[in-house]
Amino acid sequence: MPGFESSTAAEQRFNVNLSILFTELPLLERPAAAAAAGFTAVELWWPWVGSPTPEPAELAALKGAIEDAGVRLTGLNFYSGQLPGPDRGALSVPGVESERFRANIDVVAEFAESLGCKALNALYGNRVEGVDPAEQDALALENLVLAARAADRIGAILLIEALNKPESPLYPLVSAPAAIEVVDKVNEAAGLGNAKFLMDLYHLSMNGEDLPQVIERYVPKTGHVQIADNPGRGAPGTGSLPLADLLDRLRKAGYEGWVGLEYKPGDRPSAEAFEWLPRAARAAR
C-alpha cells in the first residue's frame, strides 16, 4: 500500500487479531501462524463464545500455544456472547448474559495476567426490546466498574469500544463521543482512571465520523487502535481509507500504543493478507 514503505509503518507497533485473521486454522495453530508471518504480538476476542468459564485445560492449551509461538498477547476481550454473530456484548444485557459476563471477569484477568496482557476490552451489549435503556446503562456501569477493578489488579487498562450503526444497529455506542462518555463515567465511578477508548478506525469511518478530528481530540484518552479498510473491512489498500495518513496523524498526536490488525483477509489465506506491511515492520520493537 502506498505510504506504508515510509517511517509510518516503522514507527508503529502492530499486532494481529487472531479472531478475524487466521481463522481458517484451528485456534491453537493461529499464534504460530502469526509468528511465521513475522508478527510478535497478537490479540483475541474471547475465544469460547459459548462459555465464559472454559475448562482449565482449554485455557492452559491456549496459553501454551501463545508461549510456544513466541508471541505476546497484548489484548483480550471479555466474554461478549456470539462473536462474530448477532451479539455485540453481554455486560449490559439483563439476566443470563450479564451473569456470564461477571463470571468471566476474573477468568479473563487471571489468563491475561499469566501472559502479561495489559489491555482488556469490554463490549457493551445490544439494546434489548422491552427493557428501559437507562436500566441497561446502569447495569453496564456496574459491570464495567467491576471489570475496571479486575484490570487494575493486574496492572491493565479497560477498553471501551464504539462499533458502527449499519452493522450493529442495536449497539448503543456508535460514535467516538458516546464511547468517551462511558469511559469518563467508568473512571469517575471506579476512581481508578484505567478506562480508555478503543479507537477502531473502521467502525468510526462507517459511522461517517471525521477521523482526523477524532484523532486530534481523543488520543489522550485512547488505549488501543484497530484498523481495517473501508468499504469491505479488508486489508489496508483494499478500500479508500487513507490509513497511512491516519496512522501518521496518530503518531504525531502522541499515540504510542498498539495498532491491532482487525480486518478480513478476503478470499485468500490470511498469511497472504499482509503485503501492504513490510515484514521488517511487523515485529514489535
CATH number at residue 143: 3.20.20.150
| 2 inside domain | no
Give the side-chain half-sphere CA count within 13 A for 90: 26
- Predicted confidence pLDDT, tens digits, the chain (285 residues): 445 654 566 678 999 999 999 999 999 999 999 999 999 999 999 999 989 999 999 999 999 999 999 999 999 999 999 877 788 899 999 999 999 999 999 999 999 999 999 999 999 999 999 999 999 999 999 999 999 999 999 999 999 999 999 999 999 999 999 999 999 999 999 999 999 999 999 999 999 999 999 999 999 999 999 999 999 999 999 999 999 999 999 999 999 999 999 999 999 999 999 999 999 899 986
DSSP string, 190-205: HSS--EEEEEEHHHHH
> What is the model's pLDDT at position 11?
75
Residue 44's contacts (CB-CB under 8 Å, 6 or more residues apart) are 17, 18, 19, 73, 75, 76, 77
Active site positions, annotated:
161, 262
| 122 inside domain | yes
Residue 275's contacts (CB-CB under 8 Å, 6 or more residues apart) are 235
> What is the model's pLDDT at position 222?
98
> What is the model's pLDDT at position 3?
52
d(CA 217, CA 221) in angstroms, rounded, equals: 9
What is the reported pTM? 0.96
> What is the model's pLDDT at position 153?
98
Burial of 284 (0-12, 13-18, 19+ CB in 10 A): middle
d(CA 210, CA 95) in angstroms, rounded, equals: 37
Residue 55's contacts (CB-CB under 8 Å, 6 or more residues apart) are none
Q: How many domains does the chain have?
A: 1
| 224 inside domain | yes
| 170 inside domain | yes
| 1 inside domain | no
Q: Estimate to the nearest angstrom the gap between the alpha carbon of 24 and the chain centroid.
A: 20
Full domain range(s) for residue 189? 7-281
Amino acid at 150: A
> What is the model's pLDDT at position 2?
47
Residue 167's contacts (CB-CB under 8 Å, 6 or more residues apart) are 206
